């Protein structure tokens, strides 16, 4: 039967679990509960991480949450507050994957000037709505684009002029030839999503020149978010903006091709939405390539020590 070993380990740890489709609910003896895809739980099992998630407390438990990037049910109680802070309607983006994305976005923009300003945050949401963000991930990228663009303008936020200036900047960035090539590429199979496959890392390496971000919003959002430190300000002319976007994508692809595939590791998301293959050193200099359960792949982010 599927997941027999996973069930045995959960039972041995006295963890209660309820099987759902596609997510399971797990509650440990530490009193904490969370929902996750069984493929993710099995990966944690294989990494000997289940005991720390379902029995540990305090520092050991916190370290396990960070290592496996687990969002607890108790964390989700903050979602109404997050929606209010972002100017999002109640109940918008209701799935677990969407709520996790909103929580992480809230945490990432706190450091941005205006990231905690409700007027600017709501203007960013209005910007994303004008561009009809199709998914929570598009929303997050467009909202980040707005905040970063506003920061690049400097000075006090002007509600009468800044949104139009962001619209103009976005039109230039999204009009880049590099952005026109955004979209997933069919590179693998379900096996490359379900478990780490060293051979798939080599496939990604060989196909680096074809890879792009999943959407134009994701590419231009990450480009502005990860500007070169100490570099020139965001240009106003089309050629400069196009070069900015193209240069960022080229650097992301280069990091894939210059990373030894033997050093590549991967991790499956808690919800099973995608597995991410890490090319480089996490939190320092890395390109991340995601693959979903159908084998479609795309660059999910790129950052470096010399970028913001």
pLDDT in tens, 92-129: 999 999 999 999 999 988 877 778 899 999 999 999 99
Length of the chain, in residues: 308
- pLDDT for 122-164, tens place per residue? 999 999 999 999 899 999 999 999 999 998 898 899 999 999 9
Average pLDDT of the chain is: 95
**Tokens representing residue 122 in the block:** 């709501």
Q: Which residue, chain included where needed, has tokens 């209010």?
A: 84
Among 299, 257, 247, residue whose Cα is nearest residue 141: 299
* Alpha carbons 148 and 155: distance in angstroms, whole number: 13
Q: What was the pLDDT predicted at 32?
A: 98
What residues does each domain of the chain span? 4-70, 73-174, 176-308
Q: Are 19 and 41 in contact (CB under 8 A)?
A: no
Average pLDDT on 22-49 reads 97
* Alpha carbons 203 and 132: distance in angstroms, whole number: 34
Q: Is the pLDDT of residue 1 over 70?
A: no
* Alpha carbons 228 and 173: distance in angstroms, whole number: 16
Buried b (16+ CB within 10 A) or exposed e, 98-130: bbbbbbebbeebeebebbebeebbebbbebbee
Q: What was the pLDDT predicted at 13?
A: 97
Q: What was the pLDDT predicted at 114?
A: 78
């Amino acid at each position: 039967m599927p997941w027999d070993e996973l069930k045995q380990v959960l039972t041995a740890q006295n963890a209660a679990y309820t099987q759902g489709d596609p997510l399971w609910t797990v509650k440990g003896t530490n009193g904490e509960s969370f929902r996750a895809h069984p493929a993710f739980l099995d990966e944690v099992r294989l990494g000997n991480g289940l005991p720390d998630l379902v029995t540990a407390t305090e520092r050991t438990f916190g370290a396990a949450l960070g290592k496996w990037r687990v969002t607890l049910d108790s964390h989700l109680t903050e979602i109404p507050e997050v929606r209010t802070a972002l100017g999002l309607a109640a109940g918008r983006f209701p799935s677990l994957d969407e709520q996790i994305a909103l929580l992480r976005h809230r945490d990432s923009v706190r450091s941005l000037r205006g990231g905690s300003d409700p007027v600017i945050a709501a203007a960013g949401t209005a910007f994303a709505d004008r561009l009809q963000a199709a998914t929570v991930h598009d929303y997050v990228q467009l909202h980040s684009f707005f905040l970063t663009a506003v920061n690049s303008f400097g000075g006090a936020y002007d509600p009468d002029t800044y949104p139009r200036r962001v619209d103009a900047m976005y039109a230039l960035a999204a009009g880049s030839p590099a952005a026109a090539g955004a979209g997933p590429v069919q590179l693998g199979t379900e096996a490359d999503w379900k478990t780490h496959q060293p051979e798939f890392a080599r496939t990604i390496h060989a196909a680096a020149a074809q890879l792009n971000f999943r959407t134009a919003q994701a590419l231009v959002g990450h480009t502005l978010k990860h500007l070169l430190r100490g570099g020139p300000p965001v240009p106003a002319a089309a050629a400069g903006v196009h070069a900015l976007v193209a240069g960022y994508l080229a650097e992301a692809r280069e990091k894939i091709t210059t990373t030894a595939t033997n050093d590549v590791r991967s991790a499956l998301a808690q919800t099973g939405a995608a597995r991410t293959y890490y090319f480089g050193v996490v939190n320092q200099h890395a390109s991340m390539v995601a693959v979903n359960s159908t084998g479609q792949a795309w660059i999910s982010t790129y950052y470096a020590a010399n970028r913001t």
